[in-house]
Structures are given as structure tokens and as C-alpha cells.
């Protein structure tokens, strides 16, 4: 590329310098004005660089009025239990975070410790990872709790009973209509119904069961985010890049359909470095977190185009690029790193400007510091 073309590209981008206080995300804030829900993605679940940027952005948004609510890609019960353990200073530290896997690092602990300490913004789980944890069940004013506990026991494990899952879904839907429950308690029971429906979908003999279950999960996350949102309180939806993207079958796409341009999708991308993840094993994975190196971006890929901007960390508003001949407004290879590493990283082709409103580029990432004890499965 010529010097002129590089300078032209750099004029589109806005550097995000890092100082003693962490990343400076001030320039991003006006790009998010007017959004009722802001999806903040992450390119992996196991790199420190994107987590630190995410914390800086959440903190900056928390200083604006009105104060937002954080919706995290984990179950409502799991997030609530994590916050309870942090408030109680449960030892050792890794036990405080076990319900947040794969966010079981020192960096994630620092972020959630700050959220628990300040209580501003509030943080809620919006995924459906399982039924209400037993530690929280006694806080719910529900009828016949012993019957519900029995249904939950029969619904867990690798071979759950279909009848128990259907009964659990019916029970949870009935409790979600209980007007005596506080909002945090209502989302606990409604997500239990969602989880039962999700498990039934995964157990189906339909060859498209996996795709159906994933679409159901993203739809439920979008519904739970919308339950937290109102006209005066914005929501920060924190999840993997894929979930916050504007793609129609993902949670971000569902939010875009319901909210229009008041949904803002912020993706993150990186060039080099390494990250922590589980290890892919066929259709499953080993949850133990190990370090993987970033694959080199191939020519013409999203990441290779962003690397040509020749800036360390920057943000780019993709909205003005839509409908133009810009390289980021055309389909290209894009990196996707899921919960498990060891698979090809450049496996999807999409149009970046269609997936995200804003992208944050990190030239290099570093892996998180995993916290584990003798009983940690990770």
C-alpha cells in the first residue's frame, strides 16, 4: 500500500490510547449516544486485552446519565451467585468465579469485583445456563418448592428425563407470572423455562437440532435483554462477538429487529497474540483452559484489512461505509474463536459493516491469567 492510502485509511480511524489508568475510550462515547441497548462483543472469552477494553467502556458509560444496566452472557442465577460470593468475600478467589466459566481469570475477577463493589451499574445474567441454582432457590417465594427441586434434579445430567423437562418448563412459566417476585427473581425462573426448552431442543432427533437450539438460545438472550430495557435506562449487552452482531439469527439481530437503530453493535478484532480457551474434541470440547496462538490473518481478511491501518488500538465507525465500495463493506474472511480452541480460526465469510456498527481493533492480545484451584474443572 502507498503512504497516501495508509494515511487515508488512518483518517477514518480514531486511536484509543492506553495510559496509566487503562484504555481511553472517550472518543467512542458519542458514537453510542441515542442507543437503548449497546452490544459490546469480545473476539475470544480468554484474552485480557478485550476484557480491559470492555471494563473501560462499561466504566465510561456508567459515568453517564442515565446509568446503564449490564446484561452479561451468563445465566441469571450464575451471575447473582457470583455477586453474592464476591460480596461475602468467599475464599479462595477462584471459588468466587466458578459460576462464571469461562470468565475465571484474574481480569474477569477484577471486573466483577468492581461491579459488585460499586453496584453501579447493576449487572444481570441473561443467558440460560441451567435451572435456578439451589443456593438461590430458597430466596424465591414459590409454591411446592420440594416438587420443583425434584424436577430440577431429574432435568440435570447427561440423560435428563424429557417429561421432567416439560414439567419444569410449565412450572417455571407459571412462576414467572407471579407478580410477587422481584424482577431479578422473575428472570431467574423465566430463564429456567428457557433452559428446559433449550435442552429439549438439543435432545431432539432432528438433524437441525443444534442449529434450532442455538437460534432459541440467542432469541432468549434477546428477550431477556429487552426485559431489562426501558425507555430511560440503557442496557450494555456483553457477550461474544457473534451474539452481539447484527446477523438476523443472533441475539444482536433480534435486538436490531425490535429496536432498529437504537441497537448499537460494537465488535472487537485482533491481529496477533494468544488467548485461553478449552480444546475442541469433535462435537464437544475439553473445558480445561489452555493457551492458543492467534492464526496469522490471511490476505483480504477483515483482520488483515484492519492491520493495514497501521495503528495499535483504534475504533472505526462502520455505518458510513455501508453501500460503498470500501473493503469493509464487502464480504471477506473473518476470525471466529469460540469457547473451544484448536479449530480453524478463519472459518466464516461475512460483510463486517453489516455485522457491526463499530469495530475496535487491537493489534495484539495477551491471554488472561486463569485462576484455578485443586477442584477447578477448568
What pLDDT was estimated at residue 2? 54
Measured CA to CA, the distance from residue 17 to residue 313 in angstroms comes to 7
Q: Could you say which residues of the chain have pLDDT below 70? A: 1-9, 230-232
Q: What is the pLDDT of residues 361-377, one digit of tens each?
A: 999 999 999 999 888 99
What pLDDT was estimated at residue 227? 87
The neighbour count for residue 269, using CB atoms within 10 Å, is 25
Q: What is the pLDDT of residues 274-333, one digit of tens each?
A: 999 999 988 788 999 999 999 999 999 999 999 999 899 999 999 999 999 999 999 999
Q: 84-120 burial, b for 16+ CB within 10 Å, e for fewer?
A: bbbeeebeebbebbbbbbbbbbbbbbebbbebbeeee
What pLDDT was estimated at residue 5? 56
What pLDDT was estimated at residue 297? 97
Give long-range contacts, CB 8 A cutoff, 24+ apart: 84-88: 84/135, 86/112, 86/113, 86/116, 86/117, 87/116
- Using an 8 Å Cβ cutoff, are 126 and 237 in contact? yes
Terminus-to-terminus CA distance in the chain, angstroms?
Answer: 44
What pLDDT was estimated at residue 121? 85
What pLDDT was estimated at residue 56? 95
Closest CA to 107 of 89, 93, 119: 93
pTM surpassing 0.85? yes
What pLDDT was estimated at residue 3? 57
Amino acid at each position: 500500500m502507498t503512504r497516501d492510502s495508509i494515511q487515508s485509511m488512518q483518517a477514518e480511524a480514531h486511536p484509543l490510547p492506553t495510559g496509566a489508568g487503562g484504555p481511553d475510550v472517550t472518543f467512542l462515547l458519542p458514537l453510542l449516544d441515542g442507543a437503548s441497548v449497546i452490544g459490546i462483543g469480545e473476539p475470544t472469552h480468554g484474552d485480557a486485552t478485550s476484557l480491559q477494553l470492555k471494563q473501560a467502556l462499561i466504566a465510561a458509560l456508567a459515568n453517564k446519565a442515565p446509568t446503564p444496566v449490564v446484561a452479561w452472557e451468563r445465566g441469571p442465577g450464575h451471575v447473582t451467585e457470583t455477586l453474592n460470593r464476591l460480596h461475602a468475600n468467599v475464599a479462595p478467589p477462584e471459588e468466587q468465579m466458578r459460576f462464571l466459566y469461562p470468565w475465571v481469570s484474574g481480569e474477569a475477577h477484577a471486573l466483577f469485583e468492581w461491579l459488585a463493589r460499586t453496584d453501579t451499574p447493576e449487572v444481570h445474567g441473561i443467558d440460560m445456563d441451567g435451572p435456578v441454582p439451589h443456593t438461590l432457590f430458597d430466596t424465591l417465594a414459590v409454591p411446592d418448592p420440594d416438587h420443583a427441586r425434584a424436577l430440577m434434579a431429574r432435568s440435570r445430567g447427561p440423560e435428563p428425563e424429557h417429561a421432567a423437562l416439560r414439567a419444569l418448563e410449565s412450572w417455571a412459566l407459571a412462576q414467572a407470572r407471579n407478580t410477587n417476585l422481584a424482577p431479578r427473581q422473575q428472570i431467574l425462573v423465566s430463564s429456567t423455562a428457557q433452559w428446559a426448552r433449550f435442552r429439549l431442543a438439543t435432545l431432539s432427533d432432528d438433524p437441525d437440532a443444534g442449529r434450532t437450539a442455538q437460534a432459541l438460545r440467542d432469541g432468549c438472550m434477546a428477550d431477556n435483554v429487552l426485559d431489562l430495557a426501558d425507555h430511560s435506562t440503557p442496557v450494555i449487552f456483553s457477550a461474544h462477538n457473534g451474539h452481539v452482531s447484527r446477523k438476523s439469527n443472533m441475539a444482536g439481530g433480534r435486538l436490531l429487529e425490535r429496536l432498529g437503530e437504537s441497537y448499537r453493535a460494537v465488535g472487537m478484532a485482533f491481529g496477533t497474540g494468544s488467548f485461553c480457551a478449552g480444546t475442541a474434541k469433535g462435537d464437544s470440547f475439553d473445558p480445561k483452559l489452555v493457551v492458543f496462538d492467534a492464526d496469522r490473518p490471511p490476505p483480504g481478511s477483515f483482520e488483515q484489512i484492519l492491520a493495514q491501518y497501521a495503528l495499535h488500538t483504534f475504533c472505526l465507525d462502520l455505518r458510513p461505509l455501508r453501500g460503498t465500495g470500501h473493503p469493509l463493506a464487502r464480504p471477506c474472511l473473518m476470525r471466529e474463536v469460540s469457547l473451544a480452541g484448536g479449530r480453524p480460526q478463519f472459518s466464516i465469510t461475512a460483510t463486517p459493516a453489516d455485522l457491526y456498527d463499530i469495530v475496535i481493533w487491537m493489534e495484539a492480545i495477551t491471554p488472561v491469567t486463569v485462576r484455578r484451584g485443586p477442584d477447578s474443572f477448568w
